[in-house]
Chain A
Amino acid sequence: MTAPLLEVRNLRVEFPTRRGTLVALDDVSFSIAHGEVLGVVGESGAGKSMTGAAIIGLLEPPGRIAGGQILLNGRRIDNLPYSELRKLRGREIGAIFQDPLTTLNPLYTVGQQLIETMVTHLPLNPAQARAKAIEWLELVGIPAASQRIDSYPHEFSGGMRQRVVIALALCAEPKLIVADEPTTALDVSIQAQVISLLKSLARDKGTSMMLVTHDMGVIAETADRVAVMYAGRIVEVGAVRNVVQQAAHPYSAGLMGSIPPVGRRLERLQQIDGSMPRLSAIPPGCPYNPRCPHAFDRCFVERPELMPAKDNLAACWLYAEQGVPRHA
């Protein structure tokens, strides 16, 4: 296999606060191959969005990358100066945010926003960029694109706005898209449309995608591989089918178990007892140990790293005998 498009190695993100440093991401490692869609799932606050923000270099201050490396096509991008990083954004890594109602600047037409993005990154003059902008709007399924290009964001519905956001993220033809909960803020009926649009565009353009979501349905539908995050760490990585159907880590298993089955009536949905620890109070050993039904002595003292577990990699001592720890 060729070198991955994106490689994240032992990423550590810290937030210095008045009461000590909070570790928001700890030893996060994963990679995304060319054309691959990696789903990232986990509860709110697990560090999914933070990982995406770190990759595009838009961590909210005072958050900062305190360790590890991020490599794009083998080139380190986590320590680039601001001006270099800016050229990368949009051009090499596109981003899609959660809420299309707030992602577009209300005072510019969608055409202006598309054109300025393309003119910034591509060798196009404004007239060419406008023609391309209309093409992009058509591509993402905006009807009457040549008229709608001069409309303002508030003149579009939420689903249509997210289509515009997708066009904006893709218009400078980046190789990687970081999509942070791209459908969470949309009506359920629109979600499927937007996801299938995103998926088909990514496939046609050969764009890789990091799809952050807590919607397992979206992951199962779209992703090739899945990373499950918990308390700022990756607890399991594997092919989407393996993780959904035979999760190795007790947390992933619990997460998958909480998806209501279609067709069967359930009296109660399954749930994982307790809640994720606060960043300031992550327990020693495995961070999941207070909630884990299988926790034993070792889980409380020693922190597990990703190791082969069933067909995946999981950070869980239950699989210690399967082999030596290794990275994803």
Chain B
Amino acid sequence: MFAFIISRLLQALPVMLTVALLSFAMFAYVGDPVAIMLGQDYTIAQRDQLIADLGLNQPFFVQFAKFVVNAAQGEFGLSYRLSRPVAQLIVERAPATLELALCAAILALAIGVPMGVYTGLYRNSWLSRFFLTFSLIGVSLPTFLIGILLILTFSVWLGWLPSFGRGDTVNLGWWSTGLLTWSGIKALILPSITLGLFQLTLIMRLVRAEMMEVLRTDYIKFARARGLTNRAVHFGHALKNTLVPVITITGLQLGAIIAFAIVTETVFQWPGMGLLFIQSVSVADIPVMSAYLLLIALMFVTINLIVDLLYYAVDPRLRIGRGKGAH
């Protein structure tokens, strides 16, 4: 098990280095940081001085090595736009995005899985048909449109929920949370639904397809023949066997939720990393962009590792090295 984790971490290394190379390349090819930092009026001497200070006259590989070493220590330099350390900006914004992503993921799982089980079990009931029709909406409507429609309905017409921002937040150390105040929770509802709806319908459809597949297997027939209760058969034997693909997709989708919260955060003016990123893009704030890119890559790598570990927890057939394997 330990060896497995080590080997996966070693495999993750080239991935991270490749992403680092890409995000480093942004400095060289997207915009000219020297021009941005110097402003309108400067002398050639000032320009050469700055280039030397920034180390931009050093060979490519030396610069890249420095970048990697700094990045590994969480050091991404100063934001061009805000003139503050990038790491600090991201740490400030991360709790908002992570809370939003977590709520969206929990929403998607807590509703998507039961709906998937239900529609898989009772394929022809009218409720299943309703769920399936509803899921089409979730799959096909773009996120920004869902967000705007929700704002229109619940903020503009009904006036129940706020249309933007995080509401009041409480600081727990460096982590600012919106989960402890009523206005924070209210502010979280609409963005979570917007962000989670697509994942919800995706998980529902996935669980449904897997359930239908698993319910046809001999071991489910045999479980019924043993006289187990429906609940044990459906939620024990059947659902557990659908979990491996569901975990895979959920893991990847969690990464996607965090990475692509950009749209939702923009619609709801949610002060998270996505909004930071999109604001940075518009002014070519490269340090922020490259740090964001690396952070997202790191998240995907971490989530994939966790997903692989969960496989082991769920499926005993993957736990090799214990007993004898089947053919």
* Chain B associates with chain A: yes
A residues neighboring B (CB under 8 Å): 56, 58, 86-91, 94-95, 97, 99, 101-109, 116-117, 120-121, 151-152, 154-155, 165, 168-169, 172
How far, in whole Å, are A103 and B326 apart by their CA atoms in the complex? 15
Q: Are B237 and A152 in contact (CB under 8 A)?
A: no
Q: Are A107 and B224 in contact (CB under 8 A)?
A: no
How far, in whole Å, are A103 and B224 apart by their CA atoms in the complex? 11
Given contacts A106-B316, A152-B317, A155-B326, contact A89 B227 (CB under 8 A): yes
A-B CB contact pairs (8 Å), 18 listed: A58-B221, A89-B227, A90-B225, A90-B227, A90-B228, A94-B226, A95-B222, A97-B221, A102-B218, A106-B219, A107-B314, A116-B228, A117-B228, A151-B323, A152-B316, A154-B317, A155-B323, A169-B226
- Seed contacts A89-B225, A95-B222, A109-B316; 5 additional CB < 8 Å A-B pairs: A89-B224, A103-B219, A105-B219, A152-B323, A168-B226
B-chain residues with CB within 8 Å of residue A116 when the two chains form the complex: 228, 232, 236
A123 to chain B, nearest CB (A): 15
Q: Are A104 and B314 in contact (CB under 8 A)?
A: no
Report if B32 contacts A (CB, 8 A): no
Report if B217 contacts A (CB, 8 A): yes
Q: Are A105 and B227 in contact (CB under 8 A)?
A: no
Report if B223 contacts A (CB, 8 A): yes
Report if B280 contacts A (CB, 8 A): no
How far, in whole Å, are A172 and B227 apart by their CA atoms in the complex? 10
B residues neighboring A (CB under 8 Å): 217-219, 221-230, 232, 236-237, 240-241, 314-317, 323-326
Given contacts A89-B224, A151-B323, A155-B323, contact A103 B229 (CB under 8 A): no
Residue of B222, B230, B237, B326 most packed against chain A (CB within 10 A):
B222
B236 to chain A, nearest CB (A): 8
How far, in whole Å, are A106 and B325 apart by their CA atoms in the complex? 12
Partner of B226, one of A90, A106, A107: A90
Q: Are B223 and A154 in contact (CB under 8 A)?
A: no
Q: Are A88 and B222 in contact (CB under 8 A)?
A: no
How far, in whole Å, are A87 and B326 apart by their CA atoms in the complex? 33
Given contacts A102-B218, A107-B240, contact A120 B232 (CB under 8 A): yes
Nearest B residue (CB) for A152: B316
How far, in whole Å, are A169 and B237 apart by their CA atoms in the complex? 17
Nearest A residue (CB) for B322: A155
Q: Are A107 and B227 in contact (CB under 8 A)?
A: no
How far, in whole Å, are A188 and B232 apart by their CA atoms in the complex? 35
Q: Are A56 and B326 in contact (CB under 8 A)?
A: no
B265 to chain A, nearest CB (A): 39
A211 to chain B, nearest CB (A): 16
How far, in whole Å, are A94 and B225 apart by their CA atoms in the complex? 7
Q: Are B232 and A95 in contact (CB under 8 A)?
A: no
Q: Are B218 and A86 in contact (CB under 8 A)?
A: no
B-chain residues with CB within 8 Å of residue A101 when the two chains form the complex: 326
Partner of B222, one of A87, A97, A106, A154: A97
B-chain residues with CB within 8 Å of residue A91 when the two chains form the complex: 227
Q: Are A88 and B228 in contact (CB under 8 A)?
A: no
Partner of A107, one of B225, B230, B232, B316: B316
The 6 closest A-B pairs by CB, nearest first: A90-B227, A89-B227, A95-B225, A154-B326, A155-B323, A102-B218
Q: Are A117 and B241 in contact (CB under 8 A)?
A: no
A-chain residues with CB within 8 Å of residue B241 when the two chains form the complex: 105-107
Q: Are B228 and A104 in contact (CB under 8 A)?
A: no
How far, in whole Å, are A16 and B283 apart by their CA atoms in the complex? 67
B-chain residues with CB within 8 Å of residue A165 when the two chains form the complex: 222
How far, in whole Å, are A172 and B314 apart by their CA atoms in the complex? 28
How far, in whole Å, are A86 and B226 apart by their CA atoms in the complex? 8
